[in-house]
């Protein structure tokens, strides 16, 4: 996940075919935590690049209300 946090890292992962490996892993993996991580990483790799100035996902400020909703959604997925 750390490598996917920056634009150069995401570009490197894409150029090495990581999406194909993750997609294959997702088809046979049974561990829910691994599946969840694969899904999130796949979304980052196939999604649009963030707008200029927000390329480093570790430095993006998320409003408290949005962060709470995201945590609630994660919790619901786990159940």
Q: Is the pLDDT of residue 73 over 80?
A: no
Model pTM score:
0.62
pLDDT tens for 12-26 read 998 999 989 998 998
Judge whether 39 lies within some domain.
yes
Confidence (pLDDT) at 51: 63
Question: How many domains are there within the chain?
Answer: 1
Per the structure, the complete domain to which residue 42 belongs is given by 7-78
Judge whether 58 lies within some domain.
yes
Q: Kindly indicate the confidence band of residue 68, based on its pLDDT and cuts at 50, 70 and 90.
A: confident
Report helix angle 64-78 to 32-46, nearest 10. 130
Confidence (pLDDT) at 46: 82
Q: Kindly indicate the confidence band of residue 55, based on its pLDDT and cuts at 50, 70 and 90.
A: low
Judge whether 1 lies within some domain.
no
């Amino acid at each position: 996940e750390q490598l996917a946090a920056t634009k150069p890292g995401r570009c490197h992962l894409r150029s090495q075919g990581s999406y194909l490996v993750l997609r294959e892993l997702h088809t046979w993996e049974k561990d829910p935590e691994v599946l969840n991580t694969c899904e999130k990483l796949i979304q980052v790799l196939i999604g649009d690049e963030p707008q200029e100035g927000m390329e480093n996902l570790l430095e993006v400020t998320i409003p408290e209300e949005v962060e709470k909703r995201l945590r609630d959604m994660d919790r619901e997925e786990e159940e």
